[in-house]
Amino acid sequence: MQNKPRKKVIDVRSPGGSSTRFKSWQWQSPSESIAKEGSYRSYKKYIILLSALLLVGGILTIHVLAEADVIAIYKTREVAFEQQVLLKEELAVLEIEREWIEEVSHKVSGKSEKESSAEGVIRVLNNSSSDQTLVATTRFMSEGGKLFRSLERIIVPASRKEGGKMVPGHKDVRVRAAETGESYNISASSFSIPGLSTSPLYTQIYGESSQPMKGGAKEHVSVVLLQDMEIAKQKTLDKARVQAKLLLIENDVPPEYSLLLPTLFFKEDSVTFSHDEGDATEEILVQVKVTLKGFIALTKDVHELAQSILQEEMTGGELLYQDSLSVLFAEGSEKDSILLSGQGLAYQEVSQREITSLLAGTGIEGAIKKLSDHPYLKSADISISPFWRSTLPKNEERIHVRLSF
């Protein structure tokens, strides 16, 4: 086997033994030189192939994969109407009803001085030998000088003999103080009868009480005024209307129906008060019963009717933007009618194909100008990818259009 020639290095040094390299080269065998040349050719091919792929990709990106997004805003104009509508004839309706009972307490505003007389019971004792009649309003004087009058006529039986002793006859009578006030609320006492002061019977007929007199007073109290009753009634009716309306809307109007508010009718069925005018009390309780009636209509029917009326306000093939439609109800001038008013936005339809054909292959500035000059469009926004492109794709299918309001 033949040995490969070895590499030979010649080093030329300057006189004096300096190690500064001055010139060098390598000598290689013929086989190594050929292998290196083949490797360089393969590398060159890879470079050419990669460049071609990048070129094709760039062309695809620029011409084939390019896209544009266009958002176009319609020009619109407001249309509106106001028209009387006969219920049941022009708009099918259903009648609904709700009853409600409401109670409200109300503080009274009247003030009055309350005066009352003390009352109680006196036992009249008769030590005489004959029955004694005492008329109503007979006076009885207490030990402390407080005067009371009897409230009824009585006959006090004569004394009688029991067990060898004389026992006085007696009769209980209800009495009332001659004047009002707390000073007559006296404790148990003995009573003389002034009407007998000039008679021998004065010491034989007298009275005694075993319980104190009660109820005498002079105080300021709250009383019911007529205006209190009127205010309380109105307050209760207002609350009843609100509650009845809420319940009717929540429970009696199906989801697919609209309540025609102007048709609501409240009927006052009954009103009751816990107290009358002049009664002494801090507050009164009012109870009212009401009935609420009204009409409902299918929301779909209402909108269709409004659209048909609005259509008469449109010209030149205009369309109604459905989401812009709003409808209001007001009280009608005729029986079983409502005043229907509505408004919405009218526009002229533009097809997406019209826009893509108009913009295909156009520069972005020119495309925006074309759209702004369009008679049925108000404004537009355009974005292109890749971002460095300045023209829209020629392929209309690569242009994506969204029309909005």
326-384 confidence digits (pLDDT tens): 999 999 998 889 999 999 999 999 999 999 999 999 999 999 999 999 999 999 999 99
Between 49-63, 208-222, 261-275, the lowest mean confidence (pLDDT) is in 49-63
Is the pLDDT at 9 greater than 60, yes or no? no
Is the pLDDT at 155 greater than 90, yes or no? yes
DSSP state, 184?
G
Mean pLDDT of 308-320: 92
Taking CB atoms within 8 Å and a gap of at least 24, the contacts of 27-32 are: 29/4, 29/5
pLDDT attached to residue 335: 87
CA 311 to the chain's CA centroid: 35
Contacts of 274 (CB under 8 A, 6+ apart): 281, 284, 285, 286
Is residue 58 very low, low, confident or very high in pLDDT (cuts 50, 70, 90)? low
Hey, what are 77's tokens? 């104009």
Least Cα distance to 321 among 352, 351, 349, 344 occurs for 344
113-220 placed in CATH 2.40.30: yes
Hey, what are 7's tokens? 């590499």
Asked whether 185 and 216 are in contact (CB, 8 A), the reply is yes
pLDDT attached to residue 163: 87
pLDDT attached to residue 37: 58
Is residue 113 very low, low, confident or very high in pLDDT (cuts 50, 70, 90)? confident
Taking CB atoms within 8 Å and a gap of at least 24, the contacts of 193-198 are: 193/134, 193/138, 193/139, 193/140, 193/141, 194/139, 194/141, 195/138, 195/139
Is the pLDDT at 293 greater than 80, yes or no? yes
Is residue 14 very low, low, confident or very high in pLDDT (cuts 50, 70, 90)? very low
pLDDT attached to residue 301: 96
pLDDT attached to residue 26: 45
pLDDT attached to residue 114: 84
| Delimiting residues of CATH 2.40.30 domain(s) in the chain | 113-220
pLDDT attached to residue 350: 96
Is the pLDDT at 305 greater than 90, yes or no? yes
